[in-house]
Structure 1
């Protein structure tokens, strides 16, 4: 995809990886809508703040009526509550699935006709190494990201005839608020991850593996799970 001429909508653009993605898209010449639940927190000069809550379908529809020229959707917004599936609260599990799976699905459903109407384009879903690696203490997050991986693969096939490519970005821990408790030497620089993601989009990669741990885990998917 030619990012220089893209019109991007980046969800969760007010901080972390989303902020880096928005900034680097702008640097590459794209027009960028920075979407957030509180658009006043999007403070990047040149980025157009856009109110969008991925769990609120009316706010998504309102966003499509503003970003009518969109050709690229970046589904970046997400949460992690560190909730196990059995011992954890059901409300937290549902919240993660609503935000990390149903949210990107809802945004993609609403923006797909917009992108198609503008001649086609792309969707980038920000996923995780935990799409494939499922630790018990992060069970709800892993389950939601695994579902989002399936969402990515299924919508790639469904949207291809409409001129829309769908890519996944998989990454381990990044130096963002979500991974604040993780030791620094285990975290990737989100600016570097954003650069790899955009390079992958330009190259037409359907699956972008942002760091070594993600590549290692992906290579091991064919192995049998370890016995309990």
Structure 2
């Protein structure tokens, strides 16, 4: 894929990885829409700020109408409420699912027909190593990201005949606000964005950013015993 001729929408582009993705794609010559609930918070010169709350169907529809020339969609917007599936607030668990799964699906349903009409292109869903592995204390987020991974796999098959290649980005710790209180190694958002753009350009289906994500991916074949050795 030639990113220099692409028109890209990045959701959640006002900060963190979303901002880094928008900057990276802009540097490669792409036309970039920077989606944010409050577009006034987008401070990246050269992008086209656009109001977009992925949990609001009216906002998604308005964004699709305003950005009808998109050929690449990057579903980056997401949240983590830190919900425990057994003891956490059910409203927070729903928020994780509404944003990470239903929100992503809503944006895809709005923009996929336009990408097809524009000659095809790509969709990149920003997932997580936690779509493959669950920490119980973050069970709500992990469940939502696992659902988003399943969504990504379904879309790959369903949209292939429409000329839309669907990729998933898997990354462990990143130096962003969401993981500010988490320990362990963290990759700079700019580095993740560069690898994501490389993967899009190469037509990769899965973009696995770091060693932790690759290790967990390898552990999937080992089943429960490999991923959760603490179990009796």
CA distance in 2 between counterparts of 1:186 and 1:115 reads: 36
Counterpart of 1:154? Answer: 154
1:54-73 → structure 2 map (5 Å cutoff): 54-73=54-73
Q: Structure 1 residue 186: deviation in Å?
A: 1.2
Counterpart of 1:110? Answer: 110
Q: Does 1:170 align with 2:170?
A: yes
Q: Which runs of 5+ in 1 are unaligned?
A: none
Counterpart of 2:187? Answer: 188
After the TM superposition, which segments of 4 or more aligned residues of structure 1 sit over 3 Å from their partners? none
Q: Which runs of 5+ in 2 are unaligned?
A: none
**The residue matched to 1:106 in structure 2 has which SS?**
helix
* TM norm structure 1: 0.98
1:3-18 → structure 2 map (5 Å cutoff): 3-18=3-18
RMSD between aligned residues? 0.8
Q: Structure 1 residue 80: deviation in Å?
A: 0.6
CA distance in 2 between counterparts of 1:198 and 1:179 reads: 22
CA distance in 1 between counterparts of 2:82 and 2:61 reads: 30
Q: Structure 1 residue 222: deviation in Å?
A: 1.3
**The residue matched to 2:169 in structure 1 has which SS?**
strand
For residues 29-83 of structure 1, the C-alpha deviation after alignment (integer angstroms, 9 at most, x for no partner) is: 0000000000100111010000000100110010011101000000000001111
1:1-228 → structure 2 map (5 Å cutoff): 1-183=1-183, 186-225=185-224, 226=229, 227-228=231-232
CA distance in 1 between counterparts of 2:146 and 2:223 reads: 18
